[in-house]
Amino acid sequence: MSSAAGEAVVFPTCLVEQLRPELAGTCEALVAAADGVAPRTAHGGACCGQPAWNAGFTAAARRVAGATLRGLRRTNGPIVVPSGSCATMMQRHWPDVFAGTSHEAEARAVAGRVVELATYLDARSPHDAAPSPAATTVTVHDSCHGLRELGVKAQPRRLLAEQGVEVVESEGAERCCGFGGTFCVKLPAVSVAMADDRLDEWTASGIETVVGGDLSCLVHLEGRARRRSLPLRFRHLAEVLRPSGDASANR
């Protein structure tokens, strides 16, 4: 079945597929609610290639990303990615990954269609939901790449507010959690100290729920919080947002 021009695709990312596969369906439901039509599921590849790319291994990154590229090139609509780091990798770095190869033009074309999830939903939100009295209070942890490369900052906060979620700002919201790809296992003591920096601020200020747009940050922070038996909950943005209105799926 060919995808209609402009029809969205959700690229779940390798971490979501491996660790929280149900999140893929949640993202698809959110996109369906925003678009009025259910998105396609991306097939073919699994990973944007970032782990190898950030470690400096270009060929390995290209091989893995190439499989994903092959899966996505047959789509023609937006490619929605529930991860600031993966979206950055695909949108900003794929032209470098495939530079000088026969796939370069194709990669640029696909990269141009990649949109990070909060950005996508925020752009399509009517922004007319009256802020209801806050049922929950959360803090937002900003994904480094999403923030600095894609400008993801206000969008998740707006989306949460429109859902009646009160967002309390953390002083270190923009400070890297310490995951950093292979960094977390190459320099584990430093990585853990960086996580503690965030966790200590949250526990000191009475935060209970942390919302982020990147599963990598969340599993790293949650892993450390659980080791320290800290009373903190970690949620991906998609898990907190509820599809609003009729989510009629026309396939």
Partner 1 sequence: MTAAVGSTPVTFLGRAERDLRDDRLRAAVRNATNLMSGSRLDALAGLEDPDGLRDAARTLRAGVMAELPELLDEWSTRFEAHGGHVHWAADAAEATATVRDLVRAQQARTVAKGKSMASEEIHLNDVLEADGVEVVETDLGEFIIQLAGETPSHIIAPAIHHDRYTVADLFAADGGHPVEADIGAEAAYAQVRLRESFLSAGVGVSGVNFAVADTGSICLIENEGNGRMCTSVPKVHIAIMGMERMVRDWSELDVMLGLLARSASGQALSVYTNIITGPRRPGDVDGPDEVHVVVLDNGRSRILGSAFQEALHCIRCGACLNACPVYRQVGGHAYGSVYAGPIGAVLTPLLHQEDPAARELAEASTLCGACWEVCPVRIPLHDLLLQLRQRDAGTDAGRARRLGFTGWSWLWSTRAGFSASTQLGRLGRRLARGRTRLPGWAGKWAEGRELP
Residue 101: CB minimum distance to partner 1, A? 15
159-188 positions binding partner 1, by CB under 8 A: 174-176, 178-181, 183-188
Closest among 84, 46, 68, 81 to 179, alpha carbons compared:
84
Q: Which is nearer to partner 1, 68 or 139 (CB)?
A: 68
Question: Which among 49-57, 100-108, 113-121, 241-249 is the span making contact with partner 1, rule CB under 8 A?
Answer: 49-57
Question: Which among 30-38, 104-112, 154-162, 222-230 is the span making contact with partner 1, rule CB under 8 A?
Answer: 222-230
Beta strands in 142-188 (DSSP E): 165-167
Q: Give residue 103's Cα distance to chain centre.
A: 25
d(CA 236, CA 222): 11
**Contact between 117 and partner 1 (CB under 8 A)?**
no
Bridge partners, residue 167, by sequence: 138
**Contact between 64 and partner 1 (CB under 8 A)?**
yes
**Contact between 227 and partner 1 (CB under 8 A)?**
yes
**Contact between 233 and partner 1 (CB under 8 A)?**
no
Among 220, 236, 237, 247, the residue binding partner 1 under the rule CB under 8 A is 220
Assign 123 to helix, strand or coil: helix
What DSSP state is assigned to residue 89? I
Assign 234 to helix, strand or coil: strand
